[in-house]
Amino acid sequence: MEEYLWIVYPYISLFMLVVGLFFRYHYGQLGWGSRSSELLEKKWLKIGSLMFHIGILAVFGGHFLGLIVPLSFYHWIGIPDEFYHHVLAEGLGGLAGVVTWIGIVILLIRRIGIKRVRRNSSTPDLVALLMLFIVVTLGDLMTIGYNNLVGTYEYRTTVGPWFRSLFTLNPDAYLMRDVPMILKIHVISTFTLIGISPFTRLIHFWSAPVRYPFRRPLQYRSRTQYGRR
């Protein structure tokens, strides 16, 4: 079971991601986007979306520092473990997690509670929001709850090396054996979310508008003022 959870399942999720993106790119580009519901309701969308996107960007930055950057690098540049955990991870990371959680709760309540939005929502829309809620909630419970109530967990010696080993094609399931259960569920939920993302509104996450600043300007001409000076 451990080999399936920490070796097989992550690769299945990544395979679903690649295949799903390929399929949507070639056969469903018209649906490649978040399908904005701004016309149905704007006030709560603006608040929830802004909080969620600001928070999630900070959360991604924190995960990059914790999972991609090795522990030895922090020791090399002189960052103490206590400073990393209490200031960066629990302080800034916890704040970013709370902002993200509030944003996703607002979006979820808006999606379910406002009739016009609910009627125009698809099952994948709700699934994406519910999975985001689960992933973010578990992450906050680990960062704010477990680390303060049980004790700080050094995931940079277990989850970090395991995560990097996936991309070197030499995964080590043993590293995840003693990881707290709440963190294990958080990891599995995250890979589930990654696997289903191409088939939900979250597909827009995998699009980077790198060509937008270099696009040709659009020409607009007035029908009533055309030809006049």
* pLDDT above 80 (res 130): yes
Query: Any idea what DSSP says for residue 82?
Result: H
Q: Which of 105, 95, 23, 25 is nearest to 61 (CA)?
A: 95
Percentage of the chain exceeding pLDDT 90: 54
Q: Give 184-204 pLDDT, tens digit per residue.
A: 999 999 999 999 988 888 877
pTM (predicted TM-score): 0.84
> From CA 80, how far away is CA 89, in angstroms rounded?
12
